A and B are shown apart, each in its own frame.
Chain A
Amino acid sequence: MTNQAIVRLEDASKYYRQGKMDIRAVDGLSLEIHKGDFTALCGPSGSGKTTVLNLIGGLDFPTGGRVYLEGQDIGLLSRSRISAIRRDRIGFVFQAYNLIPVMTAYENAAFVLSLQGVSDRECRDRVMAILTEVGLEGLEHRRPDEMSGGQQQRVAIARAIVTQPAIVLADEPTANVDSANADSLLRLMERLNNESGITFLFSTHDQRVMDRAHRIIKLHDGKMESDEVFS
């Protein structure tokens, strides 16, 4: 872990209106995520984990406070600029894999590179290298419905890291896979963190994720309950 903050939340809040009630999904949260972190956000359902990831990823906007990504206040950026930041600086791994069904493993992994306008040749080199790294060599022509859950999640990880983002936001990445696959995926992400210095921020209930995390931030009712760093 270095001291360079990639993400900074300053008194960030997110309220939703549900009927006549205000739901405080995130309530005055301040935290920093540093380059090279392997951090888990945990807490019970409704504690605000996914909302925090959405705020950091520019998928949602804070009702109060500020969210900075690499020093830029996300709340002040245009829609197209946020799209560009998501494309170039953030990798997403979703609980339900969320691969695009009409694309092969290769095409899914290459999707963001094609949005970036990377040349076909460079794209091929980078995607094949990543697919090999995540253990999917030889499966690049398969479509999502021809792969297991674990394999799909590996494609999702490949898609998230192929652009060398500043941070990978992983929302319950092990929730939909069996324990063998979950262990394997975690080892993969841990290795990517150790060897390539990729920053990971997880939202999770999974004890296996928490066991591997270098830092655990516990949330409760949108507030930080604890923030523990492990050496």
Chain B
Amino acid sequence: MKIRKMAWRNLWRRKRRTYITALSIGFGVLLSVTFIGMADDSYTKMIDTSAVMGLGHVTVEPGGYNETPSLDKSLSDAAGMREAILKMEDVNDALIRIMGQAMIASANKSIGGAFMAIDPDRETGDLNLFIRSIVEGELFSGTAGQGVVIGSRVAKKLNLSIGKKLVYTTTDVKGEIVSEIARVTGVFETGVSEVDGSMILLPIDRVRAVLSYKPEEASLISVVIKDQRRSGRMREKIRSRIDNPDIEVLSWRETQADLASIITLDKAGNRVILILIGLLIAAGILNTLLMSVMERTREFGIMMALGMSPSTLFMLVIMESIWFAVLGLVLGTIITVPWYAFMYHHGIDFTGMIGSDYSASGVIIDPVMKIRLFRESALWILTGLFTLTVLSGIYPAWRAGRVPPVESLKEI
């Protein structure tokens, strides 16, 4: 009889124990999928949300802009670079923007804020959170290039509403103070109070004129890609395509360092939890296999008396642990799939607990916890649990291979 067949039958000597052990592995699959899937989903949402708040997954900008953003630093041929980037695979869009600080004033009050100048013909709500979050009015409509869309808290602070005028003051490319009037065409509300209380959107052509920028000039190109996990690779591809030492190409990890730190910290915490889950599962499997080996000491003695080598006996027990792993992963998949389907489509809504405008590092966090597992994470879970289960079998297998036949044959 082949070792794998014998190992499979050995598994069913004590059905209940086998099912309980396999279920513990299955439960490990469920927990791992939940933790890692929640992390995959929430990190992706945070990164994608952050990307559509201005800087994209990858940002092309003048050298030194990331450390000290300033309007006197600009890309002279932003349109040409955009065209080159758009031809690259996996790029969703490349958006030319001018971003800077400004004083925003209404008739009787002023506040410090920031502006993002966009091309209204090219930008839509899909890749621009502010446009997506317009709750009143619309984007720069019927204002001959002098429209402005303001955050809801800016509107409140400056007592502005649709149709009213504001003045924004900033410095131009030469460092001179410049001002311009704009009429409010829309109000957005992202849910992030610091953003809603300071940000305004302006049409890029008008801002270029105000800042004395040339027609193709801009602060940065915000590149939004199809899969945030490829942002590092995309940064390198764009870097080699542009090949200009005066231009920096940065991924969201560099432009959104706070967010990157939060994610890294959260991942480390998750890893600790997963290690603990793994250790608990491993202890259960080790216990089952060890008990199963101890119960069969006499039988192992007989097998060795009949000529089975210690290494074959070792392999027999390892094979049993492999079957445990296979069974556990199959059971795990069976119990996890419905849970995953529910969590993927519906999730658990924590709005009642944390509110709908919960944010971290200026990025909105979805209060509905969902699961989305990347293929590599699923593979990691399956490989990790399989390896853990098989490793748990090593000590019992070693014990089995060390059984002295003459002693074990005396056992009743």
A residues adjacent to B (C-beta < 8 A): 54, 57, 59-60, 79-80, 83-88, 90, 92, 94, 98, 100-103, 107, 110-112, 114-116, 159
B 269-320 contacts with A by CB, 8 A: 298-299, 302-312
**Least distance between A214 CB and chain B CB atoms (Å):** 26
**Least distance between B306 CB and chain A CB atoms (Å):** 5
Closest to B410 in A: A50
Q: What chain B residues lie within 8 Å of A110 (beta carbons)?
A: 1
Closest to A90 in B: B307
- In the complex, besides A100-B303, A101-B13, 11 extra interface pairs with C-beta distance below 8 angstroms are A60-B406, A80-B309, A84-B307, A86-B306, A87-B308, A94-B302, A103-B6, A111-B306, A114-B1, A114-B2, A115-B306
Q: What chain A residues lie within 8 Å of B362 (beta carbons)?
A: none
- Rounded to whole angstroms, the CA-CA distance of A79 and B311 in the bound complex is 11
B residues adjacent to A (C-beta < 8 A): 1-2, 6, 9-10, 12-13, 298-299, 302-312, 405-406, 409
**Least distance between B303 CB and chain A CB atoms (Å):** 7
Do residues A100 and B302 form an inter-chain contact, with CB atoms below 8 A? yes
Closest to B307 in A: A87
Q: What chain B residues lie within 8 Å of A102 (beta carbons)?
A: 6, 9-10, 12-13
**Least distance between B295 CB and chain A CB atoms (Å):** 11
Given A59-B409, A100-B299, A103-B6, CB of A92 within 8 Å of CB of B306: yes
Q: What chain A residues lie within 8 Å of B303 (beta carbons)?
A: 100, 111
- Binding site secondary structure of chain A: helix
Q: How many A-B residue pairs have CB under 8 A?
A: 66
- Binding site secondary structure of chain B: helix
Do residues B409 and A115 form an inter-chain contact, with CB atoms below 8 A? no
Pick 10 A–B contacts, CB within 8 A, sort by A.
A59-B409, A79-B309, A86-B305, A98-B409, A100-B299, A100-B302, A100-B303, A102-B9, A115-B307, A159-B306
Closest to A57 in B: B305
Interface pairs A-B: 8 shortest CB-CB: A87-B307, A102-B9, A86-B307, A83-B309, A59-B406, A60-B406, A98-B302, A107-B1
- Rounded to whole angstroms, the CA-CA distance of A59 and B306 in the bound complex is 10
- Rounded to whole angstroms, the CA-CA distance of A92 and B307 in the bound complex is 10
Given A59-B305, A102-B6, A114-B1, CB of A83 within 8 Å of CB of B406: no
Do residues B406 and A54 form an inter-chain contact, with CB atoms below 8 A? yes
Q: What chain B residues lie within 8 Å of A116 (beta carbons)?
A: 307
Closest to A104 in B: B1
Do residues B2 and A79 form an inter-chain contact, with CB atoms below 8 A? no
- Rounded to whole angstroms, the CA-CA distance of A152 and B166 in the bound complex is 100
- Rounded to whole angstroms, the CA-CA distance of A60 and B409 in the bound complex is 11
Given A59-B409, A94-B409, CB of A115 within 8 Å of CB of B6: no
**Least distance between B3 CB and chain A CB atoms (Å):** 9
- Rounded to whole angstroms, the CA-CA distance of A59 and B311 in the bound complex is 17
Q: What chain A residues lie within 8 Å of B298 (beta carbons)?
A: 98
